[in-house]
Amino acid sequence: MIGQDWHDRSWQSEDGLSLHYRDYSGPDGADLLPVICIPGLTRNARDFAGLASHLSQHRRVICVDLRGRGDSDFAKDAATYQPLQYAQDVIALMDQAGLDRAAFIGSSLGGLVTMTIAMSRPALIAGAVLNDVGPKIEKAGLERIADYVGQQRSFPTWMHAARSLQENHGAIHPDWGVIDWLAEAKRVMVLGNNGRITFDYDMRIGEGFADAVDEAAGLDLWPAFETMARYPLVVVRGENSDILSDTVAREMQGRMSNIELVTVPGTGHLPTLAEPEVMQAIEHLLNERLIEQPLSSGRAGG
């Protein structure tokens, strides 16, 4: 695409999938730590376009499509659609790209993946942003997601798609107008070969999701979260979130002195990270709170 500020690259998973990421290379000669952005359950690298363009004025930003999303291959086995596998995939990306450390920005599921990496390979993380997710996930939010994930819907026009999103998710962003919902549709959907507009993920991601709601809501992820005590953290929460409660967010902050908590008013799950107060917190994390170390790697890509 003419004028785009990223390169499309790929890496290989251990089970042979070709996985895609957008590589915002940053300025020539920049040796600041890169940022790795990991999207939510049904989302993709396009979620971070505005943020990545802004941050890449100073440093490299990598925005991944998890397996089964965007331009990444669908999994051969739908059972691999789970956080441990996603974490292994991201670690493989870092290994293949020669990255020793990075700051992580994880939205929802992406935050769970970040916590999983912190448990298995803590030295890879220099700091992190957890977007509307924490060590306890609210059942109400999981039930809401279970109502729509994996439904193979399609639309004849982008306006139809936008109107459907507004009808079903309007309470999350009550101040959005039709232009905002059109932009949202183009983040989460794609024009298919049949001329219909569909969601840009493997519908098998929804297999068994509803049956796993009780188990997921009952998980104790506090030990995983507490492994991140060594890093500077930003926790972003939508004021009306049904995934990360105010009580849990404040307990996260209370357990660790390294957390900056940012609440986005009038917003549910998921903040976009383009909100001014969120951008300010991310810039503060990257520019003032990270302990930078010289990079030992180049800009290897797929």
Lowest mean pLDDT among 88-102, 191-205, 211-225, 287-301: 287-301
Pairing of strands 18-24, 35-38: unpaired
CA-to-CA separations, 93 to 90, 145, 212, 213, 254, in angstroms, rounded = 5, 28, 29, 30, 33
DSSP-assigned states of every residue in 206-260 = GTTTGGGHHHHHH---HHHHHGGGGS-EEEEEETT-SSS-HHHHHHHHHH-TTEE
What residue ranges do the domains of the chain occupy?
Answer: 7-137+219-289
The pTM is what?
0.94
Q: Provide the CATH topology of domain 7-137+219-289.
A: Rossmann fold (3.40.50)
% of residues, the chain, pLDDT over 90: 88
**Strand-pair partners of 128:** 104, 233
**Strand-pair partners of 154:** 198
Report the helix count and the strand count for the chain, using DSSP H and E.
10, 11
pLDDT at position 300, please?
42
Kindly report the CA angle at 191 between 187 and 194, in degrees rounded to 5?
Answer: 160
Quick check: 294 pLDDT over 60? no
For residue 20, give both structure tokens: 């895609």
Assess contact for 89 and 281: CB atoms under 8 A: no
pLDDT by residue (tens digit) across 137-190? Answer: 999 999 999 999 999 899 999 999 999 999 999 999 999 999 999 999 999 999
What is the C-alpha separation between 196 and 190, in angstroms, rounded?
A: 8
The dihedral built from the CA positions of residue 121, 125, 126 and 130, taken in this order, carries a sign that is negative
CA-to-CA separations, 244 to 136, 137, 142, 259, in angstroms, rounded = 7, 6, 11, 15
Segment (H or E) for 42: none
Q: What is the mean pLDDT of residues 196-202?
A: 97
Tell me if residue 134 falls in helix, strand or coil: coil
Residue 211 binned pLDDT confidence (cut-offs 50, 70, 90): confident
pLDDT at position 297, please?
43
pLDDT at position 2, please?
52
pLDDT by residue (tens digit) across 49-108? Answer: 999 999 999 999 999 999 999 999 999 999 999 999 999 999 999 999 999 999 999 999
Q: What is the mean pLDDT of residues 187-205?
A: 96
Cβ atoms within 10 Å, residue 291? 10
Strand order in the sheet with 154-155: 154-155, 197-199, 189-191
Q: What is the mean pLDDT of residues 19-41?
A: 93
pLDDT at position 4, please?
84
Kindly report the CA angle at 67 between 297 and 49, in degrees rounded to 5?
Answer: 65
pLDDT at position 271, please?
98
Assess contact for 262 and 234: CB atoms under 8 A: yes
Residue 11 binned pLDDT confidence (cut-offs 50, 70, 90): very high
Quick check: 299 pLDDT over 60? no
pLDDT at position 301, please?
45
Quick check: 1 pLDDT over 60? no
The whole-chain average pLDDT of the chain stands at 94
Among 199, 288, 271, smallest CA distance to 235 is for: 271
Residue 3 binned pLDDT confidence (cut-offs 50, 70, 90): low
pLDDT at position 298, please?
43
pLDDT at position 30, please?
77
Residue 123 binned pLDDT confidence (cut-offs 50, 70, 90): very high
SS (H, E, C) 145-189: HHCCCCCCCEECCHHHHHHHHHHHHCCCCCCCCHHHHHHHHHHHE
